[in-house]
A and B are shown apart, each in its own frame.
Chain A
Amino acid sequence: MPRKLRSRPLTDNPQLLGLLLTLPALMAILAVVLIPIVSSFWLSLHQKDLSRPQYDAFIALKNYLTLLRDSRYLNSLWVTFRFSLTSVIMEVILGVSIALVLNQRFVGRGFVRGLMILPWAMPSIVNAAMWKWIYNADYGALNALLTQLHIIEGYRVWLADPTWATILIILANVWKETPFTVILVLAALQAIPEDLYEAARVDGASAWRSFWHITLPLISPVLMVASMLQFIWGFQTFELVYVTTGGGPFSTTELTTLRVYATTFRSLRFGYGAAMAYLTSLVILIPAVFYIRSAYRRVVEM
């Protein structure tokens, strides 16, 4: 491509061009969220109960202080944290394992890889309804399968047991979300040069060692991105739990999103609901920012 040297246009200045290229995207995002974020934050500093308009007032941080003593909210925060963290850990382990297997050569590999997107592509409301019915105590497929395989003696009421309800909801979430990790990791795996493994084999390294020393370090940036996104999405899960357990048994699977929904849309306490959402965001914001910064740095420096 022989070209004459010519003076570069003004738009080729990295500072100017950088802003020029990123601002449209940033503005597209901010156009939607900026005002709502500001106004709902402002709302969170008010008592604004549509059912009791006579008490509406600016109350500064009182909503937040009340939240810190609201045991049901605090419980939901813990439930959500446990839900997201367990989901992410399982998604990473499963995602990496599945990706490792699908990275081998076998008949129908392309088809199986394409199929992986299926759970991810299913609308979440359908996913929720499907699991609700699978877990049904009297007519569900889970009980039928486990009894026919003689794993359990008789039918169980899975979702009435706090431990099982928690596990099964996480399982349903993991089923739906894992493909995202699989596809990202699978891609990362394919980019690892084969000669790295060759060299390791010559050195007599076991498969486990070469996974630990070659594969894992090379896919870890992807895993960081994937797990962070999954963790955030975990905090925003709603339909799955709303439909399958409604937060039950006795609020042991109640996520913060369910609390926000009940407070805002059912009790019409907009100020308190907003405060709830912001406190939740704050709780994940702090670890997430550290995480993003470290992930970003690693990615940039590699």
Chain B
Amino acid sequence: MKRNPLYLLMILVLVLMVALSACAPAATPTPTAPASTSATAETTTPPTASPQPAQEKITVIFPRHEADIVGAFEARVREFEKTTGIKVELIQSDWDSVADRVIPEMATGGSAYDVVEFDNGWVAEWCGAGWVTPLNDFMPEGFTQGMIPGLVDLFSCPDGKLYGVVWNNDTRFFYYNAAKLETAGYTQPPRTWQEFKEMSLAAKDKGVVQYGMAPSWNQEWALANEFHFWTYTFGGKIVDEQGCFEFNKDPNTLAALQFMIDALKEGVANPAGLTYDQATAQDAFLKGDTLFLPQGIAGLMAYTQDPNISKVAGQVKVGLVPGATPDLSATLTLPEAYAIPANSKHKEAAWKFIQFMTSRETNKILAQEIGLLPIWTDLYTDPDLLAKYPFWADFQAQLSTARGLSKLTWYGDFVDVTIAEVHKALAGEQTAQQALDNMAKGLAQFECQP
């Protein structure tokens, strides 16, 4: 027993040596991991792809698309490498991780990335800070022609230039469980929130479902999206063109928040929604516990077919989002774009990457493979795609009503204050009016000066 420590020290030193020697090769680009054959094949592709010695290399970071379980984006990136000979270091992870890596890098003026994720919520802020490169210097004449106009507008800055090209047209749609709705005695989806409420309560009375919807109203970042969504469908305003407050003055905004509160109180919405994120809300809908999913992702239909996560195969349809009145139907679009950091050293190559990845051809391939929603208008009438996704015909009408989040340089602060006050109102701890007043109070330093 007494000798043990000496052995231990020896082991320690050994471990240290092994660990440190294992460190050394990691600094070089060769992977240390005992790679499978496919992995080695992949790391050795560049020589075959490009014979020239001075090979350009760009680093690209963007989140995984939630429907991309087959690696479709990665396959496109490899295709890009093959056609252009530019090597791509691809970093894909979840949205939060990407955001928390990109923001410190941009904020500290780094040049590690050549193409970055550019979320619609960051546009005003990044334009103001001058972190991104205007794409007009690179793009050919008429590049944006045929693109959904809203997506171009969302990523244009006050100087009128375009700073991002959308790779993920994340527009949300209104899904309803047609089979359950019929059991409750309705053949048509609701056109107004009033009907929405009636149908939910009727279905509850008949024991079809317990709640019309399970909202994702946990106190987190996405609650601000929900606030936008309901405000839009009630015809309310959040801020005006100059960024001056409207939310605390507009009666329609108040009505929207009041509806959210009442939905919980009257049993239209599951009170558990106060603790749900979007994934859980979607789980509940796919399980058949709710009638409606007011803001579902475009790829939802594919999920309904998967028996591992869904019990509603063949029951779900797409409808128009209801509004306070039918003409107020609106939906949220939360697009994510590619942008080139101002400090990138490979802007030309980065632009080529963006062009390739957002082209009609790539868009169509990704649409076919994983149901990616195109950014090109004519792809929505493409016969191949319509044959595969017949419900895209229903998307059409909604797409024209899609709206983005408020463009504010202080959007982060807006979310921070909004989610706290709105959540408090939803929990019944303050009235809708109090919540909106408190938001104005909390954001007072950002109110525009007369």
Query: Contacts A157-B272, A268-B107; is A245 near B219 (CB within 8 Å)?
Result: yes
Query: Contacts A51-B410, A246-B220; is A136 near B125 (CB within 8 Å)?
Result: no
Q: A51 near B412 (CB under 8 angstroms)?
A: yes
Q: B423 near A53 (CB under 8 angstroms)?
A: no
Question: A115 contacts the other chain (Cβ, under 8 Å)?
Answer: no
Q: Please measure, in the bound complex, the distance between the C-alpha atom of A53 and the C-alpha atom of B126, giving whole angstroms.
A: 11
A138 interface neighbour in B103, B129, B221, B272, Cβ under 8 Å = B272
Q: From residue 92 to 106 of chain B, which have CB atoms closer than 8 A to chain A?
A: 99-100, 103
Q: B416 near A138 (CB under 8 angstroms)?
A: no
Q: A50 near B271 (CB under 8 angstroms)?
A: no
Complex: chain B residue closest to A160, CB-CB: B274
Interface string of B107-134 (1 = CB under 8 A from A): 1000000000000000001001100000
How far, in Å, is B411 (CB) from chain A's closest CB? 8
Q: A51 near B218 (CB under 8 angstroms)?
A: no
Interface string of B344-384 (1 = CB under 8 A from A): 00000000000000000000000000000000000000000
Interface string of A126-166 (1 = CB under 8 A from B): 00000000011111000000000000000001111000000
Q: From residue 255 to 297 of chain A, which have CB atoms closer than 8 A to chain B?
A: 262-263, 265-270
How far, in Å, is A158 (CB) from chain B's closest CB? 8
Q: Which residues of A contact B413 (CB under 8 A)?
A: 51, 267, 269
Q: A136 near B280 (CB under 8 angstroms)?
A: yes
Question: B258 contacts the other chain (Cβ, under 8 Å)?
Answer: no
Query: Contacts A50-B129, A72-B420, A136-B280; is A249 near B427 (CB within 8 Å)?
Result: yes
Q: Please measure, in the bound complex, the distance between the C-alpha atom of A52 and the C-alpha atom of B270, giving whole angstroms.
A: 40
Interface string of B134-177 (1 = CB under 8 A from A): 00000000000000000000000000000000000000000000
Query: Contacts A50-B125, A157-B275, A268-B125; is A249 near B412 (CB within 8 Å)?
Result: no
Q: B107 near A160 (CB under 8 angstroms)?
A: no
Main secondary structure of the interface of B (DSSP, over half): helix
A53 interface neighbour in B99, B129, B274, B289, Cβ under 8 Å = B129
Q: A52 near B409 (CB under 8 angstroms)?
A: yes
Q: Which residues of B contact A50 (CB under 8 A)?
A: 107, 125, 129
- B: number of interface residues (CB 8 Å): 34
Q: A250 near B416 (CB under 8 angstroms)?
A: no
Q: A249 near B274 (CB under 8 angstroms)?
A: yes
Question: A248 contacts the other chain (Cβ, under 8 Å)?
Answer: yes
How far, in Å, is A272 (CB) from chain B's closest CB? 10
Q: Which residues of B contact A95 (CB under 8 A)?
A: none
Q: Which residues of A contact B100 (CB under 8 A)?
A: 265
A247 interface neighbour in B99, B219, B442, Cβ under 8 Å = B219
Question: B424 contacts the other chain (Cβ, under 8 Å)?
Answer: yes
Q: Please measure, in the bound complex, the distance between the C-alpha atom of A135 and the C-alpha atom of B427, giving whole angstroms.
A: 18
Question: B429 contacts the other chain (Cβ, under 8 Å)?
Answer: yes
Question: B415 contacts the other chain (Cβ, under 8 Å)?
Answer: yes
How far, in Å, is A188 (CB) from chain B's closest CB? 21
Interface size of A as a range: 20 to 34
Q: Which residues of A contact B330 (CB under 8 A)?
A: none
Complex: chain A residue closest to B100, CB-CB: A265
Question: A97 contacts the other chain (Cβ, under 8 Å)?
Answer: no
For A51, A139, A267, which residue has the most chain B Cβ atoms within 10 angstroms? A51
Q: B420 near A250 (CB under 8 angstroms)?
A: yes
Interface string of B176-218 (1 = CB under 8 A from A): 0000000000000000000000000000000000000010001
Q: A250 near B412 (CB under 8 angstroms)?
A: no
Q: A266 near B415 (CB under 8 angstroms)?
A: yes
Q: A248 near B218 (CB under 8 angstroms)?
A: yes
Q: From residue 34 to 75 of chain A, which have CB atoms closer than 8 A to chain B?
A: 50-53, 72
Q: A138 near B107 (CB under 8 angstroms)?
A: no
Question: B320 contacts the other chain (Cβ, under 8 Å)?
Answer: no
How far, in Å, is B412 (CB) from chain A's closest CB? 4
Q: Which residues of B contact A266 (CB under 8 A)?
A: 221, 412, 415-416
How far, in Å, is B339 (CB) from chain A's closest CB? 16
Q: A248 near B272 (CB under 8 angstroms)?
A: no
Complex: chain A residue closest to B424, CB-CB: A250
Interface string of B411-450 (1 = CB under 8 A from A): 0110110011001100101000000000000100000000
Q: Which residues of B contact A139 (CB under 8 A)?
A: 283
Q: B221 near A160 (CB under 8 angstroms)?
A: no
Q: Please measure, in the bound complex, the distance between the C-alpha atom of A258 and the C-alpha atom of B107, giving whole angstroms.
A: 20
Question: B284 contacts the other chain (Cβ, under 8 Å)?
Answer: yes
Q: Which residues of A contact B429 (CB under 8 A)?
A: 250
Q: Please measure, in the bound complex, the distance between the C-alpha atom of A52 and the C-alpha atom of B127, giving whole angstroms.
A: 11
Q: Please measure, in the bound complex, the distance between the C-alpha atom of A269 and the C-alpha atom of B59, giving whole angstroms.
A: 27
Q: Which residues of B contact A190 (CB under 8 A)?
A: none
B416 interface neighbour in A52, A158, A249, A262, Cβ under 8 Å = A262
Q: Please measure, in the bound complex, the distance between the C-alpha atom of A246 and the C-alpha atom of B427, giving whole angstroms.
A: 15
Q: B275 near A160 (CB under 8 angstroms)?
A: yes
Knowing that A138-B270, A245-B275, A250-B429 touch, tell me 5 more A-B residue pairs with CB under 8 angstroms: A50-B129, A160-B427, A263-B416, A266-B221, A268-B103
10 nearest CB pairs, A to B: A248-B219, A137-B272, A250-B424, A267-B412, A246-B220, A160-B274, A159-B275, A266-B412, A267-B413, A51-B409
Ordered by A's residue number, 11 sampled pairs between the chains whose C-beta atoms are within 8 Å are: A52-B410, A53-B129, A138-B284, A139-B283, A245-B219, A246-B218, A246-B219, A249-B275, A250-B429, A265-B103, A267-B416
